[in-house]
A and B are shown apart, each in its own frame.
Chain A
Amino acid sequence: MAHGEYLKESYPSVKNILLLDSEGKRVAVKYFSDDWPTLAAKLSFEKSLFTKTAKTNARSEAEITMFDSYIVVYKFVQDLHFFVTAGSDENELILAAVLQGFFDAVGLLLRNDVEKRTALENLDLILLCIDEIVDGGIILETDANTIAGKVATNGSDNTVTFSEQTLSQAFATAREHLARSLLN
């Protein structure tokens, strides 16, 4: 491996995080790389990725594929498809940790009611969640409790460990609040 090539991999780097629905439509996406410069390029990547992975069973364990010389790890639940993409030389297990962090944090934030509708109703939480996992391609945090904690308490104090229990309580009110007001 030559020098120039090495520098790019000096730290693990995520190219995008995607949350699509069961038809491949966007729920929330975030790109950290210029590999897909236009909206059309992004959509076509999402479409091919969705088509390639839609028939696989990625429900109990995270799945993985090589795609257009990218590595993509993914996991599905209900009508939601979670994806994390990186370059082909990335450590697959680091990526899987990012995916698991994202997946579990969303589960905590949505109180295990993880489906497209609740995700959209709580889109602000989903977007904040992605924002707390990766910053400009660099992994910020992979621990789901910490991520959810930062989103929920707005990150003021991460020494408080966030168990699902307290989170549920915190959200019981907030979520209903929000859903109701969005419905109006």
Chain B
Amino acid sequence: MAQPLVKKDDDGDDEMDYSPFLGIEKGAVLQEARAFHDPQLDARRCSQVITKLLYLLNQGETFTKVEATEVFFAVTKLFQSKDTGLRRMVYLIIKELSPSNDEVIIVTSSLMKDMNSKTDMYRANAIRVLCRITDGTLLTQIERYLKQAIVDKNPVVASAALVSGIHLLQTNPEIVKRWSNEVQEAVQSRAALVQFHALALLHQIRQNDRLAVSKLVTSLTKGSVRSPLAQCLLIRYTSQVIRETNNSQSGERPFFDFLESCLRHKAEMVIFEAARAITELTGVTNRELTPAITVLQLFLSSSKPVLRFAAVRTLNKVAMTHPLAVTNCNIDMESLISDQNRSIATLAITTLLKTGNESSVDRLMKQITNFMSDIADEFKIVVVEAIRSLCLKFPLKYRSLMNFLSNILREEGGFEYKKAIVDSIVILIRDIPDAKENGLIHLCEFIEDCEFTYLSTQILHFLGNEGPKTSDPSKYIRYIYNRVILENATVRAAAVSTLAKFGALVGSLKPRIFVLLRRCLFDIDDEVRDRATLYLNTLQGDDSIGETDNDVKEFLFGSLDVPLSNLETSLQNYEPSEEPFDISSVPKEVKSQPLTEKKAPGKVPTGLGAPISNPTPTVDAYEKLISSIPEFSSFGKLFKSSAPVELTEAETEYAVSVVKHIFDGHVVFQYNCTNTIPEQLLENVTVFVDASEAEEFSEVVLKPLRSLPYDSPGQTFVAFEKPEGVPAVGKFSNLLKFIVKEVDPATGEAEDEGVEDEYQLEDLEIVAADYILKVGVSNFRNAWESMDPDSERVDEYGLGARESLAEAVSAVINLLGMQPCEGTDVVPSNSRSHSCLLSGIFIGNVKVLVRLSFGIDGPKQVAMKLTVRSDDPAISDAIHEIVANG
């Protein structure tokens, strides 16, 4: 029998695919829309046609201008019908068609009539439609009705007017602001949602008036708020008030009681909103955090995924700044590792890795192992990095952590992921001596089957430095020599160098190394043969050169004492002649420490490819100074400190300079003050900073200088919070405030009574360049090519008339604050065009490379092409933005 056929009938496949819109065609529906013109309107049929039109629009079908206009005109005829169902559909389609201004006029009178209808549904919907499609001119005509509607006794009408007000405030603020009285009245409405909408609109109207917002919050926190949604709004506005009254450095925070009381609200959304608001308070204390953490902890074991997600996401953020406060939740958090919802599991793991203690490491590792197989590489890297810092925190646990790393190293994974693992192992080997031998063997096993040339060569280099110093260096030789047999030329050459290092350092191995190196003399690759020859000759200490053992070691292990980029430039400029190339002619001036190429967005300047870049001593000193101040300890790692900027003229009474310390989410100004008047003692010295021209910054800490005697410099600090990772810029005006006391020059004693005084300082600016570290690369071209081409952003800019090409080049370099590479900052005189290469690290440790091509024409007009590559395409865009705004 034809069974499939029968089966098909039974299954009713046709029915499954059935849709009332099957075979629907735009042309046909537009034809049907002619029914709107009928003198005898069939309301039901018209409704169906509108539904079909809406269906088409919903499926992404577009109408041409002519078609849309035609439909719109036809629809306007439908206002003649008294059918409420049809009218409802008419409102809907008018909004979807979004008619142009000249078309709007056609329906205006119909809609205005509906706005004054006795039917509430007509009033509410006509308001929403009219406000959606109208422009400013019409608004003044209907303003009167809207004000009435806001206080309409029907809540649907009032809400419609209020919500429309929120939309209109964006385009016609001056009109909507005139409705304050009505909106204020609506805030007192007994209808829950009217109150919600009124509160949102009132806050929008007044948001820039601190006092008004504060008053609003004060009255509402005492009164009754009727819906959970409105209560959530009130919590947000209360947080705003708390944030803006940040002068309460000591004592109770205003309104904290209110936030805390919301933790006992019956609606979960309110409890959560309040808990989240508390965790986000600036400078929140552990005591303040505790009740919020407690309710979030309860949510962790909820049966609702949304609740668990919300709680674990918030706790994850808290763990970044207050890991200890979250440790109480660890048990609940651990059970979330196996959560069905991978987003929840992911957040739980990263939180645990931040808050975990020594005793839980082993258990945690076991759980993560099961977890690793079903998440994406990108997130695995986060886990690996978290494990690395965990291991440095608990060095005794290196064994299980190292085992974990070596296990995941053996599994499938992309380059970035593998590199993160290898980097982590290398760091552990460096910092934990006990982990060395174990770690080296793991690396050796890894290169036995490693598809990434870059990683193989880096590991071989590292092995050459560390392997000979272990208890049994011979065990590594096999792994290294296998590379000579099995790998590509680049890896073979690296392996030859590594062998030579073993030979130089381990006397007992020397004869055997010679045997191996001699075999390499027959390699098919020039570089491998050359290296083998060179090492054989140096190690044998042929009397031809007569080197001592130390020279050999210096040659093998010493680093070049010239920057590689300088050497490269010099070699490129060297013209073949009788005179040999002299390495001492290479300039040694290092503008900043060259960083070895890193493909991965390295979070810390460590990992493979030693030497590690040393931060300049000044930065180090600043870092110590800043980290010694408890108020700044939560700001994370110091990204950059600027050179001191003078804020006073030379030879004034008080000399003040400022150093800008940039953190990921904060900026600290360090004011270095010197009092140059012997007859004065200054006390309680602070700098009053007006950040009104730096909108994204808000002051969080003010650290006064208790006493500033004559000629003994001291520091006062002001810290600002700014959006994390964002290169926010702004201008700050500074006023030095202090209490001055007269000092008797004879006795050196100060009077008891002082006088308050102030002293105007110069303005200070945070510019984009403050977020970029000058870090060079040793080989720009390689570095450039190792960057993802997709991150590349190109644009051209006219720089206007400039004095010279050199001036234009240096202006752009200064604007970006990046490190010129390969001497490309020098513009040969009289050149008409110039290329310049820049490198740097953007805040968030994102590597950025820039190619600039300049051209100048007769009237000194300079044009520039800017090409950027970066670890993060968003940063490439940011660089363009800096130039575009510069």
A residues lining the B interface (CB < 8 Å): 1-7, 9-12, 26, 28-29, 39, 42-43, 56-57, 61-66, 73, 91-97, 116-117, 120-121, 123-124, 127-128, 131, 135-136, 138-142, 150, 153-158, 177-179, 181-183
Contact = CB atoms under 8 A, between A and B. Distances in A.
B697 interface: yes
B722 A91 contact: no
Interface of B: 18-21, 44-45, 47-48, 50-51, 54-55, 58-60, 62, 84-85, 87-89, 92, 95, 119-121, 124-125, 128, 132, 154-156, 159-160, 163-164, 166-167, 193, 196-197, 200, 203-204, 207, 228-229, 232-233, 236-237, 240, 243, 268-269, 272-273, 276, 280, 303-307, 309-310, 313, 340-341, 343, 695-698, 721-723, 728
Nearest to A177: B44
A96 B306 contact: yes
Contact of A62 (B48, B50, B121, B306): B306
B305 A3 contact: no
Contacts of B696: 2-5
Given A11-B200, A138-B200, A158-B155, A57 B232 contact: no
Given A10-B204, A64-B306, A4 B48 contact: no
B236 A10 contact: yes
B479 to A, nearest CB: 42
Contact of B120 (A5, A123, A157): A157
- Majority DSSP secondary structure for residues of B touching A: helix
A117 B272 CA distance: 38
24 contacts: A1-B721, A2-B721, A7-B207, A10-B207, A26-B58, A26-B60, A42-B60, A56-B340, A61-B303, A62-B305, A64-B310, A91-B310, A92-B313, A93-B307, A94-B269, A95-B306, A116-B19, A124-B51, A124-B54, A127-B54, A128-B89, A131-B95, A138-B166, A155-B156
Contact of A138 (B44, B197, B722): B197
A2 B306 contact: no
A62 B305 CA distance: 7
B341 A142 contact: no
A120 B19 contact: yes
Contacts of A179: 20
A124 to B, nearest CB: 4
A103 B138 CA distance: 37
A57 B698 contact: no
A52 B416 CA distance: 23
B23 to A, nearest CB: 13
A9 B235 CA distance: 12
A65 B156 contact: no
A147 to B, nearest CB: 11
Contacts of B124: 155
Contact of B310 (A42, A61, A93, A142): A93
B229 A12 contact: yes
A139 B92 contact: no
A64 B229 contact: no
A65 to B, nearest CB: 5
Contacts of A127: 51, 54, 58, 92
A181 B48 CA distance: 8
Contacts of B58: 26, 28-29, 127
Contact of B166 (A11, A61, A64): A11
Given A12-B229, A117-B19, A136-B163, A65 B343 contact: yes
Contacts of B240: 6
Contacts of B132: 136
B84 A156 contact: yes
Nearest to A6: B240
B663 to A, nearest CB: 15
A-B CB proximity, top 10 nearest: A93-B269, A92-B310, A2-B696, A11-B200, A155-B121, A156-B121, A96-B306, A124-B51, A182-B20, A64-B309
A24 B273 CA distance: 33
Contact of B88 (A117, A135, A154, A182): A154
Nearest to B193: A141
A150 B121 CA distance: 8
Tell me which of B50, B307, B728 has the highest count of chain A C-beta atoms within 10 A of its own C-beta.
Answer: B307
A97 B260 CA distance: 23
A155 B48 contact: no
A95 B304 CA distance: 13
Contact of A91 (B51, B243, B272): B272
A16 to B, nearest CB: 12
A56 B232 contact: no
Contacts of B156: 150, 155, 158
Contacts of A7: 207
A140 B159 contact: yes
A73 B310 CA distance: 11
B341 A43 contact: no
Contacts of B341: 56, 63-65
